[in-house]
């Protein structure tokens, strides 16, 4: 600012007001210009009417309610008793599902705009109610799956004193509560909602599970920080992962125009009863055979047969190209 240039004054500032004076009018105008440039470049000018996007904040509230309904005596309100348990679950589910219905409507409107037409047959309201109804009907199955995950964590960790400790404290269990719910939403074709649910868990636990990943019962992530599981990963029953494990893609094929091809199977298949220790990286559409153990910090890009014992030493000695195991 030059000596003769007047100080910019915010429209909210008044005489005698000691608050800083921001040039809000100019900043607001510049931000609007930036938004318009972005929308023009991406062909999204048609979106200027209103915000038709699901809300991360509202989904966090819905998830809190659903966790309470799934595990009322552990994740519900502190004053809850068994006598009022069913009433609490019914009331909480009614609230959560009606809030979820609003979010599903938003995603369907969003998808309709991007597809240029309704992305599913039938009236949007009918589709939204069907999706939420199917999600609600799946909750008992989700609870049973989560019970197997909690028991796997309790039995697989000698430090765990009770199943309540596991449910209340373990980030891997929290991540799986989110994932079981997110995977159902993903299968019901509301992928944006599913991804938001997954990212809420990622933010709080450091565990990144794409909602498309298929995970069998009895899944245990010990410690958990830095675990990454990709969209097309398939994990069998009674699998255990430790921190910083990656089940990722080896390469990303592109079409003739150079655009990445989406939806192709590109992540590992991990069969039943596999243990993967900390820091292991498993890439590509390969299969880890049933009962195998993958050692810490192993880099693996080829399939291994059942009952393999893979370590850095075994990869060096038995398979110089990092492809197999004993």
CB 226 within 8 A of CB 244: yes
pLDDT at 10: 47
Alpha-helical runs (H) found in 43-84: 56-70, 72-75
**pLDDT, tens digit, 9 for 90 and up, residues 226-260:** 999 999 999 999 999 999 999 999 988 888 777 88
pLDDT at 217: 98
CA distance 298 to 117: 47
Domains of the chain and any CATH numbers = 52-207 (1.10.3130.10), 213-254+262-326 (2.160.10.10)
pLDDT at 323: 40
Cα dihedral 49, 50, 54, 56 sign: positive
Q: Which residues contact 11 (CB under 8 A, 6 or more apart)?
A: 24, 25
pLDDT at 252: 80
CB 145 within 8 A of CB 165: no
Partners of 299 in beta bridges: 281
**pLDDT, tens digit, 9 for 90 and up, residues 296-321:** 999 999 999 999 999 988 776 665 44
pLDDT at 164: 96
CA distance 51 to 302: 46
What are the residue ranges in the chain where pLDDT is below 70? 1-17, 42-51, 115-122, 316-326
List the one residue out of 107, 105, 112 whose CA is nearest residue 128: 105
Which pTM was predicted? 0.85
């Amino acid at each position: 600012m030059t000596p003769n240039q007047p100080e910019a004054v915010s429209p909210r500032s008044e005489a005698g007001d000691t608050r800083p004076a921001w040039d809000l009018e100019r900043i607001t105008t510049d931000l609007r210009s930036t938004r318009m440039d972005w929308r023009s470049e991406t062909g999204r000018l048609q979106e200027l009417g209103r915000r038709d996007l699901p809300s991360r904040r509202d989904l966090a509230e819905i998830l809190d309610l659903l966790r309470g309904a799934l595990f009322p005596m552990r994740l519900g309100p502190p004053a809850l008793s068994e006598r009022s348990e069913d009433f609490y679950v019914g009331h909480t589910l009614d609230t959560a599902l009606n809030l979820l219905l609003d979010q599903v409507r938003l995603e369907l409107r969003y998808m309709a705009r991007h597809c240029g037409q309704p992305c599913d047959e039938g009236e949007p309201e009918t589709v939204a109610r069907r999706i939420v109804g199917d999600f609600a009907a799946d909750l008992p199955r989700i609870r049973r799956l989560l019970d197997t995950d909690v028991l796997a964590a309790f039995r697989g960790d000698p430090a765990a004193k009770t199943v309540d400790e596991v449910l209340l404290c373990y980030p891997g269990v929290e991540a799986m509560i989110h994932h079981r719910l997110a995977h159902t939403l993903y299968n019901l074709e509301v992928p944006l909602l599913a991804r938001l649910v997954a990212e809420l868990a990622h933010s709080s636990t450091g565990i990144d599970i794409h909602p498309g990943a298929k995970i069998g019962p009895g899944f245990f992530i010990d410690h958990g920080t830095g675990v990454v599981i990709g969209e097309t990963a398939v994990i069998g029953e009674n699998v255990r992962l430790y921190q910083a494990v990656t089940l990722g893609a080896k390469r990303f094929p592109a079409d003739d125009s150079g655009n990445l091809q989406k939806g192709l199977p590109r992540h590992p298949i991990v069969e039943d009863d596999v243990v993967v220790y900390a820091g292991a990286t498993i890439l590509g559409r390969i299969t880890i055979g049933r009962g195998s153990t993958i050692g810490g910090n192993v880099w693996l890009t080829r399939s291994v047969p059942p009952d393999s014992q893979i370590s850095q030493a075994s990869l060096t000695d038995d398979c110089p190209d990092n492809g197999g195991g004993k």
